[in-house]
Structure 1
Amino acid sequence: MDDGAQQTRSARRPGRVVGRVLGIPVYLNPSMLLLAVLVTVVYGGYAEAELGLVAPYAYAIGFGFVVCLLGSVLLHELGHALTARRYGIGVRGITLELLGGYTEMDRDAPSPRVDALVSLAGPAVSLVLGAAATAAAFALPDRTVVGEIAFQLAVSNVLIAIFNVLPGLPLDGGRALRAGLWALLKDRHRATEVAAWAGRGIAVLTGLAVLTLYWLQLLTVFGLLFIMLVAFTLWQGAGQSIRLARMSRRFPLVDLGALARPLFAVPSGTPLAEAQRRAGAADRAGDALAVADAGGRLVALVDVAGAAAVPAERRPWVAVDTVARDLGRVPALPLGLTGEQVVRAVQAHPGAQYVVTSGEDVVGVLHVADLAQLLEPRRAGRRPATG
């Protein structure tokens, strides 16, 4: 299953790089190993029972089917990636994981038409692969290894194509639905939210359908668990799309100049307790605590979490330098970035604090918690406040 097809700056860890295809990095998520083992065992058992193959050879055939299946998923994702490139959208990589794969792009499609074309390119590739495998299955002799593999590839690719065109995010069909709603409503964020709720509906219907099939004894326990995992993943992916749509609607509110906390500098070597006392006495306890050298030049930024982790009774004996990070190692955000650019920069370089610069000058510090409070006030309100 292709669980989302295209993403702009994924929050997921991509996994290990296993190679490049047409210059595009291909990552293998560790969860894919679980799928490889399951498919090898299940298909190997089938080959042993139905084709009369001895165990080692049967499971080798099962592993061969896994490789063919991975190739099909990779080609599906390349359909998205190459279509995106055709329309000037950069591709960061392709990740293969437990339930299929996804393609990470450096920005969203510029128009509904491009969004729809990129979204549907993957299912189109799967459909072509399914048709080719079907033709091969009919041409090859029955009950042979190559004939059975061709048949299984035909079924799996056709199912991938059909399932992925269902009209709900995070599926490809959901992105196509979003593109159509975007063209109709002239509001990409609203279109994304509607398509994501459709995805949640598909997740619920999938769960109900699989429970019914199991109750009718038309599905094994393994099939029940696997498809329920698919339904759960759909529900989570749709929820993430809803969350991102609501966040994106608030991007224009992001103003680095207003969000950045002023700096309160203390000399290098100052005890942490004394630095905090001075900030409080100056009514600047909410400012970002920085460290200055003997010449007054800022050299480090106190890490909020690191400072909070120091027990109160030890703070008079701990210098600010020990819980500070060299200023050159703190990610920088120049004033003037748009809200979308700020979020992309934070996603690209995750951290708790970012120095805000104007030319070569540091004018403040952005706490990621403040950005989260602005973009997701309801979620941030449920979390404990941080410095």
Structure 2
Amino acid sequence: MIESARSIVAVESRPRAPRRPRRRTGLTVGRVFGVPLHLNLSMLLLTLLVTVTYAEFARERLGLSPLGGYLIGLGFVVSLLGSVLLHELGHALTARRYGIGVRGITLELLGGYTEMDRDAPNPRVELLVALAGPAVSALLGGIAVAATLAIPDHTLAHQLALQLALSNVIVAVFNMLPGLPLDGGRALRAVLWRLTRDRHRATEVAGWVGRAVAVGTAGLVVLLTVQRVLVPLALPLMLLVAVTLWRGAGQSIRYARISRRVPLVDLGRLARPVFAVPTGTPLAEAQRRHAAQGPPGSAVLVVDGAGRPVALVDPAAADAVPVDRRPWLGVDAVARPLAALPTLPLGLDGERLMAAVQAHPGARYVVTAGEDVVGVLHIADLAQVLEPTRKMNR
């Protein structure tokens, strides 16, 4: 479902499958080859950390002034982010080449990710999209290695070329580790998908391998820090990379299990029935009628004088009204207009239902058949079908 290494030379990349829209916490800075580019606010922490760390290193190696060291550190951050951006463009442009829409590229604390409109249609496209990013990083690393060998030692240009070579090579190698959410995990999933003809099983297996990679990464980072190969300042950030890998692998496993159950979704069976009351009915009377005559679990629908549905009672708002006020408060006061609620046509299958819910997140959905309201879908009921072993708040 979803997938960057780091110290001062490590960055992660994770192409993401489509998911529920979310409010961004960063800035949209423009477009690159038509792909929207976003900067997450966590980039400020990365910029500060890498600038300070590399500035100290550059001053010691090159005898620069404090200001010169910080300027060089900042320049290295810009170069590093440029490398990450090119890595993500490899994913994005390859995906677009095969008809997969790209919503945008986001650069954040742990590198970057490419958000796509949908999954790859087959294992071959999945493999090509997954390998495109590491291929770009490997190419950049090769160019930087050649530049490092050609530039005299103990110079500023040599140090910058060396760090860019190391960062791009590490990004390419680290991302090719065979576990989700890394690019190598997506490549592994593509191979398993081709062999088993079961994308969901392939995703779940690659996710468990990704968890093993996360544990191995954490152990290796601690070992290298104890042996003073990594500076202590890099330890928290590298452990954060390992935690992010673990969480991403878990999300991939969960995504596979949910996706496997999507064909079981039947909107007609999931939708709760409705019980109609006329507009202006006192809340207490509406609740009395509903309790006496309404089907179990049904929602209270408010209809106008012609019998047309106009609103849906909000159970939480109704329960919040003191009992002694309910005879004097109209049911309309605790109802939401139907126009303000997302609607779902009754004939949707599981795939289209999931797409509609992701596009319009909500707690309840009005289910319609033509102009008639035939039921209400509670998102908790849908979640229970998709994840029957998970506890839900109803």
> By the TM > 0.5 criterion, same fold?
yes
CA offset digits 1:144-182 (Å, max 9, x no partner): 333322221111111111000100001110011011111
1:383 paired residue among 385, 389, 392: 392
Moved more, 74-83 or 317-326: 317-326
CA distance in 1, matches of 2:364, 2:52: 47
* Structure 1 residue 199 corresponds to structure 2 residue 203: no
Q: Bigger shift: 291-300 or 230-239?
A: 291-300
RCO higher in structure (CA 8 A, sep ≥6): 2
Is the CA contact 1:7–1:102 (under 8 Å) kept in the aligned structure 2? no
Contact 2:258 2:387 in 1 (8 A): yes
Residue 121 (structure 1) aligned with residue 132 (structure 2): yes
- Of stretches 228-237 and 278-287 in structure 1, the one that deviates more from structure 2 is 278-287
Quote the Cα distance in structure 2 between the aligned partners of 1:322 and 1:3.
50
1:201-249 CA distance string (max 9 Å, x none): 1111111222222333333322221221111111111111111100011
Partner of 1:66: 77
State whether residues 181 and 210 of structure 2, in contact with CA within 8 Å, keep that contact through their aligned partners in structure 1.
yes
3-state SS of paired residue (1:250): helix
Q: Among residues 11, 16, 20, which one is paired with 1:6 in the alignment?
A: 16
Pick the aligned partner of 1:75 from 72, 80, 86: 86
- Is the contact between residue 15 and residue 116 of structure 2 (CA under 8 Å) also seen in structure 1? no
Q: For residue 220 of structure 2, what is the aligned residue in structure 1?
A: 209
- Secondary structure of the 2:365 match is strand
- Contact between 2:266 and 2:350, CA under 8 Å: does it hold in 1? yes
Q: 1:291 to 1:283 in 2, by over 3 A?
A: closer
TM-score, normalisation: structure 1: 0.92
Name which of structure 1's ranges 110-119 and 354-363 shifts more when overlaid on structure 2: 354-363
| CA 85–279 in structure 1, closer or farther in 2 if over 3 Å, else same | same
Are the equivalent residues in 2 in contact too, given 1:14–1:95 (CA < 8 A)? no
Structure 2 length-normalised TM: 0.91
1:6 is paired with a residue whose SS is coil
Judging changes above 3 Å, is the alpha-carbon distance between structure 1 residues 233 and 264 closer, same or farther for their aligned structure 2 residues? same
Match of 2:106 in 1: 95
Identify if the C-alpha distance between structure 1 residues 271 and 127 changes in structure 2 by more than 3 Å, giving closer, same or farther. Answer: farther
User: Aligned to 1:7, what secondary structure does the other structure show?
Assistant: coil
Query: 2-side partners of 1:45 and 1:310: how far apart?
Result: 63
**Amino acid across the alignment from 2:278:** P
Alignment of 1:318-337 (within 5 A): 318-337=329-348
Task: Give the secondary-structure state (helix, strand or coil) at the position aligned to 1:146.
Answer: helix
Q: 1:222 is matched with which residue?
A: 233
Q: Which amino acid aligns with 2:281?
A: T
Match of 2:351 in 1: 340
Cα deviation digits, residues 98-134 of structure 1 (max 9, x gap): 1111111111111111111111111111111111222
Cα separation, 2, equivalents of 1:147 and 1:207: 31
For residue 212 of structure 1, what is the amino acid of its counterpart?
Answer: L
Would the alpha carbon gap of residues 320 and 36 (structure 1) be closer, same or farther in structure 2, given more than 3 Å must change? farther
Specify the alignment match of 2:156 in structure 1. Answer: 145
Q: Aligned partners of 1:215 and 1:296: how far apart in 2?
A: 75
CA-based RMSD of the aligned residues comes to 2.1
Structure-to-structure mapping, 1:231-380, within 5 angstroms? 231-310=242-321, 315-379=326-390
| Cα distance in 2, alignment partners of residues 235 and 173 from structure 1 | 15
2:352 & 2:326 partners in 1: Cα distance?
Answer: 37
201 and 279 in structure 1: CA distance in 2 versus 1, 3 angstrom threshold: same
* Pair 18,238 (structure 1): closer, same or farther in 2 beyond 3 Å: same
Which is further off, 197-206 or 292-301? 292-301
Report how far residue 318 of structure 1 moved: 4.5
Cα distance in 2 for partners of 1:137, 1:35 equals 25
Partner SS, residue 79 of structure 1: helix
Distance 1:313 1:49 in 2: 77
Partners of 1:93 and 1:293 lie apart in 2 by 45
Kindly indicate whether the alpha-carbon contact (under 8 Å) linking 1:252 and 1:339 is maintained by their aligned counterparts in 2. Answer: yes
In structure 1, what is the Cα distance between the partners aligned to 2:283 and 2:232?
A: 59
Q: Does 1:175 align with 2:175?
A: no
CA contact (8 A) 1:4 1:237 kept: no
- Summarize the Cα distance change of 1:17–1:307 in structure 2 as closer, same or farther, 3 Å threshold: farther
After superposition, what is the alpha-carbon deviation per residue over 1:68-124, rounded to whole angstroms, capped at 9, x for unaligned?
211111111111111111111111111111111111111111111111111111111
User: 1:321: how far off?
Assistant: 2.9
- The answer to whether 1:57 aligns with 2:65 is no
* Secondary structure of the structure 2 residue equivalent to 1:265: strand
Aligned equivalent of 1:109: 120
Taking the aligned partners of 2:205 and 2:102, their CA distance within structure 1 comes to: 26
Q: Is the 1:256–1:336 Cα contact (8 Å) retained in structure 2?
A: yes
Structure 1: runs of 5+ lacking an equivalent? none
Give the alignment partner of residue 161 of structure 1, picking from 172, 180, 189: 172
Cα distance change on mapping 1:43 and 1:367 into 2, 3 Å: same
Mapped to 2, the partners of 1:157 and 1:210 lie a distance apart of 19
Structure 1 254/8 Cα, relative in aligned 2: closer, same or farther at 3 Å? same
| Secondary structure of the corresponding residue to residue 356 of structure 1 | strand
Closer/same/farther in 2, CA of residues 166 and 13 from structure 1, 3 Å limit: farther
